[in-house]
Structure 1
Amino acid sequence: MLAQKYFPGFSNKLIDVGENVKINTLIGGCGKEAILFLHGHPENYLTWRFVAPKLTTQYTVVLIDLRGYGFSTKPRGLADHSNYSKRTMANDAILVMAKLGFNKFHLVGHDRGARVCHRLILDHPEKVTSCTLMDILPTYDMYHDTNQEFATKYWHWFFYIQNNGLPEKLLAGNADFFIRFNLQLKIGPKARNNFSEDVLQEYINCFSNPMTVHGISEDYRASATIDLKYDLVDKDTIIQTPLLVLWGKDGVVGKIWDVLANWQKHAKNVTGFGVPECGHFVPEEQPEIVLKALKDFLQAHSFSA
C-alpha cells in the first residue's frame, strides 16, 4: 500500500461491517466534523491523494475502499447482485463512520463512489450534512439516455454486466493493459503526469486479483438490475441534502448532458460547474480547483454555519 507516502499521518484499519466483509479505511485529521471520501472505478482510496490530506487541519478525513475494490473484502456476488447494490455499499459506509464515532458527516464521491453517495442520501439523508458528487448523473438517467457516444466511451458499463463470468475470464489475462487503456481513454491530455507509475502499479496490482474483477463486475451488474429497481422507486424524490456537483468540462458526461440542470431536477439545493481542462478523473486531474470548491462548499454547510 502507498498510504504512508500519499497520506502521511493517516491510520489504516480494516473495519468489520458484518457478513464477513471488512472495509479498508484510512483516517486522518482531528476535526469535529468528518468527511467521508468514496472513490470510483477502477481505482481505490488513492483517488483522493491530492485532495484529502489538505483537509486534515480542519476535519477528520476518512477514506474507504468500496467492497470489491482495493484492499476491502471481495465477496462472491449473490444471484440478485444485492450484496453489491449501492444500498449495501452505502450501508458499509454508514457502519464504518458509526464505528469511528460519526453519526453525521460530509460526503464526497467520484464515479462509482458518487453513485453510492447518491443512494446514501436517498436512504439516509439524516446522516449527511453535505454531499459532493463528481462526474456523474443518476444511474437511471444515464442508462435511459444512452447513445452511441456514451456507449463507446463507457463501453465497460455494458461489458461488466455480462453474466456467466465473461468479464472475469476476459480481463484475467492482462490487468496492466486494461488499467492503462481505461484510464488513458478518459483522462484529459494535460493531466497524464498526475498519474504516476507507482499509483498506476497500485491500481494494476489490485486489479490483478481475480476477485477484484469479480467484485467490480458485480458492482456494475447491480447497477443494471437491483439498483435500477431501487432508483425507479425514488425517481421522483427531491433530495434535500445540499449538493455540489462537479464534472470534467472535457469529459463524456459533461459533453453529452447538462449536468447542473439535470441534478437540479432531482435536488432542492444544487450548485456546481464543469471543471476546465478536465476529463473524467476530476479530483486527480484538477485537484486545486476541486479543493477550492470543496472547501468553500464545506464551510458553507458546516455544522455551525
Structure 2
Amino acid sequence: MSAPATMLPGFAAADVEVATDAGPPLRIRAATAGSGPPLLLLHGHPQTHATWRAAAPRLAERFTVVAPDLRGYGDSGKPPSDDAHLAYSKRAMARDQVRLMRALGHTSFAVAGHDRGGRVAHRMALDHPAAVERLAVLDIAPTATMYARTDREFASRYYWWFFLIRPAPLPEEMIAGATETFLRTHLREQSGTPGVPEEDLAREYLRCYRDPDTVRAVCEDYRAAATVDLEHDDADAREGRLLTRPLLALWGARGTVGRLYDVPAAWREVSGAPVDGEALDCGHLVQEERPGETAARLEAFLALEPDHR
C-alpha cells in the first residue's frame, strides 16, 4: 500500500492510530520531516496540515516537524458526537495530539497552532504542561476572551462563530447546498494577501470540505468552543490555573484579531509565564501569507539554550 499523500515538500505522511478515552482508536493523518527538537504544527479552520506547506520545510531544517490533521479535519478520523459536544472539545483534540506525539517518540515538544489549532494548543499546554515546552499561537486571542468581548464588529467579521454553532442539521445542510461558495468566501475573507491561499491549496481544502462528515465535525468543533470549552476555561479561571510555558503570539496586522484586541495583553491575562508578541503585515492566514517571516519568528522563539542543543 502506498503512503498517504501530503502537499508538504520533503515530508512523508502516515496514518497513526491513537487511543481515545471513549470508543475505538482514532486515525490521525500526520506529515513528518526533519531532525532536531520536536515541533508540532496545528492548523485551523477550514485548513488542513497542508496550510504549513511553505513554512514547514524551513522549520524542518532545524526541528523534527510533525504536521497533523486535527480530529474531524482533512484525512483524520471524524468520530460521532453528542449533545454535549465532548468529542470535539479542545481537551479531546489536544489529547489526540499528545498521544500522536508519544506514538512518534516525543514525550515533550514545542507546539505552534493557527486558528483552531491555536485553541487546541492552548488547552494542551494547560492539560499537559509536562508535554508542552513552548507554545506559539497564530492570529487568535483566548476563546473565552473573544466571546466575552463580542460586539457588533466582531460578530460581523467572524459570523461563522455564530452560524456554525446553531443546532444540527441547520448549518450542515445550508453548507451542503453551497459548499464551494461558502468555503471560498470564507478563505477570501480570511486572507489579507491577493492570491492567498494558492488555488491548489484552496482545492485541497475544498476536497475535504465536500465530505459531509468534515462539515459535521467542523460544526461540532465550533459548538464545543461555545459550550464545553468555555466550561473548561471557567474551571481554570476559578482554580487559578494559568499557562506555565513561554508563549509567542503572532497575528496579522490586517486581520480581525489584531484590529480588535491587544493580543499580547489578552494572553498575559491567562499566563503565568513570559508572553511575547508581534504583528506581521498580513491577514488571518499568517503561515500562508508570510511563511518565511512566520518560520523565522518561530525559529527564534523556539531556539534552545546552547547546552540543550
TM-score range, shorter chain: over 0.9
Q: Does 1:284 align with 2:288?
A: yes
Secondary structure of 2:106 counterpart? coil
Instruction: Look up the SS of the partner of 1:125 in the other structure.
Output: coil
2:21 is aligned with 1:21: no
Distance 1:302 1:213, change over 3 A: farther
Aligned counterpart for 2:255 among listed residues 245, 251, 257? 251
Letter of the structure 1 residue corresponding to residue 201 of structure 2: V
Report if the CA contact (8 A) 1:86-1:116 is conserved: yes
- Equivalent residue for 2:119? 115
**SS of the residue 1:255 aligns to:** helix
State the alpha-carbon separation in 2 of the partners of residues 289 and 167 from structure 1.
36
Q: 1:203 to 1:127 in 2, by over 3 A?
A: same
Aligned length: 299
The secondary structure found in structure 2 opposite 1:192 is coil
**Structure-2 residue corresponding to 1:7:** 8
Query: Tell me, what secondary structure is at the counterpart of 1:132?
Result: strand
Q: CA deviation at 1:29?
A: 1.1
Q: 1:272 aligns with which of 251, 263, 277?
A: 277
Task: Look up the equivalent residue of 2:80 and give its one-letter code.
Answer: R
C-alpha change, 1:22 and 1:249, in structure 2 (3 Å) is: same
What is the aligned-residue RMSD (CA, Å)?
1.5
In structure 2, distance between residues paired with 1:212 and 1:303? 44
- State the TM-score, normalizing by the size of structure 2: 0.93
1:167 maps to 171
For 1:302 and 1:74, how far apart are their aligned partners in 2?
A: 42
- Check 1:37–1:43 CA distance in 2 against 1; reply closer, same or farther (3 A cut): same
SS at match of 1:95: helix
Q: Is the contact made by 2:5 and 2:13 (CA closer than 8 Å) also made in structure 1?
A: no
| 1:184 and 2:188 matched | yes
AA aligned opposite 2:292: E
In the alignment, what sits opposite 1:78? 82
| TM-score (norm: length of structure 1) | 0.94
1:233 aligns with 2:238: no
CA distance in 2, matches of 1:133, 1:271: 11
1:167 aligns to what SS in structure 2?
A: helix
Q: 1:120 to 1:301 in 2, by over 3 A?
A: farther
Deviation at 1:148, TM superposition (A): 0.5
Q: Which residue of 2 aligns with 1:96?
A: 100
Instruction: Report the alpha carbon displacement of residue 174 of structure 1 after superposing the two structures with TM.
Output: 2.3
Query: Contact 1:23–1:67 at 8 Å: present in 2 too?
Result: yes
User: Following the alignment from structure 1 to structure 2, what is the Cα–Cα distance between the partners of residues 252 and 130?
Assistant: 25
Deviation of the 1:79 alpha carbon: 2.2
Q: 1:218 aligns with which of 217, 220, 224?
A: 220
Conserved 8 A contact 1:37-1:64: yes
Instruction: Tell me the amino acid that sits aligned with residue 45 of structure 2.
Output: H
1:130–1:301 contact (8 Å) kept in structure 2: no
Q: Is the 8 A contact 1:36 1:61 kept in 2?
A: yes
Contact between 2:118 and 2:138, CA under 8 Å: does it hold in 1?
yes
Q: Which runs of 5+ in 1 are unaligned?
A: none
Which residues in structure 2 correspond to 1:199-218 (within 5 Å)? 199-218=201-220
Unaligned runs of 5+ in 2: none
Deviations 1:74-113 (A, max 9, x none): 1121221101000000000001000000000010000000
Q: Which residue of 2 aligns with 1:195?
A: 197
Q: Secondary structure at the match of 2:303?
A: helix
Partners of 1:21 and 1:291 lie apart in 2 by 30
The answer to whether the 8 A contact 2:9-2:53 is kept is no
| SS of aligned partner of 1:193 | coil
